[in-house]
Amino acid sequence: MINAADIVVGLAWGDEAKGKVTSHLASLKKDGAPYYDFVARWNGGSNAGHTIYVNDVCFKTHIVPCGILHGIKSIIGPNCVLNPDSFYRELDALGSKGADTSLVRVSPRCHIVSEQHIEYDRLNLSKKLGTTSKGIAPCYADKAARTGVLARDVLDEELLWDENLYGNLLCEGAQGVWLDINRGRYPWVTSSETLPYSACSIGFPTQVINNIYGAAKIYDTRSGEDPMFPSLLFDDRHLKQIADVGAEYGVTTGRRRKVNWLNLNYLIESINLTGTTSLLISKCDILEEVGVYRLFYNEELLTFVSLVDMKSFIKTSINNDCPLVEKIGFSYSAKCLGQE
């Protein structure tokens, strides 16, 4: 039985700096040792792309939880999907930068993404739905049809997790609320559950959940097709500037992300849907560099004279409408939380 579980969740369409938040939490110590005993992913596969800086070294992860960057056992959970080839490549790349890849274990129940899944995704879904072509939808389809192949059938015994959980667990989310298969804007979603309810699939009861860390960005971005993010957004001068300055390109696909002003109503909805207790809003430095401060609220586009004004509007609205939130932080750096 575990002692406590904390969950990091994306509050929008992915790419909200969950990697940064998770890595910061994984670095926390208690009596000189890591506070967390495990870091585990509960959903998705190598469609995710987390950018993490540890001691100024930049790591890019797709399926491997960031615990290995901090000497913590890292679990790829039973609701994840894994392509062995890209998994081994990722382990090699992380290992060559100094990460201890011997700490990674894969749930025996994790489903295997085959080359056929990837091919089907690439040929049939990537254009229509803007998927990442990583075979995610076909693999989860086989899982639901009960025709899937499991990690226990194909992976080396020593890579398999013995399903033993103890101590403190940190759950690393992938994608974000609006990509959740149940609560997102279907069919413009991914094929897994991105919300905290699904973290329990790792193997713990809801009662041990302590903190829900919600990761958000001070503007919205979307990688992949979505009618809510029309391509005419590319024509807006300021949004284009945000995309450039903020380097809004997919870590997994290299595609340019569509950028829009933050929709505060959606953020409030996703905070309440996830039960976020601690909120971090990232990339404030990008907005500051562009020097234009806008957000959508109640279907109006509001413009603020300064970032200070915009942040105070955000804080007040969230404090009014999100009773579970205890902490709100703003970050100005990709490398650290830089909370104020």
User: Which residues contact Mg ion by CB under 5 A?
Assistant: 15, 49, 251
Nearer to Mg ion (CB atom), residue 193 or residue 248: 248
For the CB of residue 155, give the shortest distance to ligand IMP in the complex, in Å.
22
Contact 218, 283 (CB under 8 A): yes
Return the residue of 23, 61, 114, 223 that touches ligand IMP, per CB under 6 A. Answer: 223
Annotated active-site residue 15? The verdict is yes
Q: Is 47 in the site for ligand IMP (CB under 6 A)?
A: yes
Annotated active-site residue 50? The verdict is yes
Backbone angles phi, psi at 265, to 5 degrees: -65, -40
Q: Is 194 in the site for ligand IMP (CB under 6 A)?
A: no
Total residues at interface with ligand IMP (CB under 6 A): 21
Return the residue of 9, 48, 81, 318 that touches ligand IMP, per CB under 6 A. Answer: 48
For the CB of residue 184, give the shortest distance to ligand IMP in the complex, in Å.
9
Nearer to Mg ion (CB atom), residue 83 or residue 114: 83
Distance between CA atoms of residues 304 and 150, nearest Å: 52
Contact 76, 46 (CB under 8 A): no
Angle of helix 264-274 relative to helix 307-321, nearest 10 degrees? 40
Q: What is the 3-state secondary structure (H, E, C) of 57-95?
A: EEEEECCCCHHHHHCCEEEECCCEEECHHHHHHHHHHHH
Neighbours of 166 (CB within 10 A): 10
Cα four-point dihedral sign 266, 47, 43, 129: positive
Nearer to ligand IMP (CB atom), residue 196 or residue 224: 224
Distance between CA atoms of residues 174 and 41, nearest Å: 8
Q: Which of residues 136-155 bind ligand IMP (CB under 6 A)?
A: 136-137
> From the candidates 24, 50, 62, 111, which is the catalytic residue?
50
Binding region for ligand IMP (CB under 6 A): 13-15, 47-49, 129-132, 134, 136-137, 174-175, 179, 190-191, 223-225
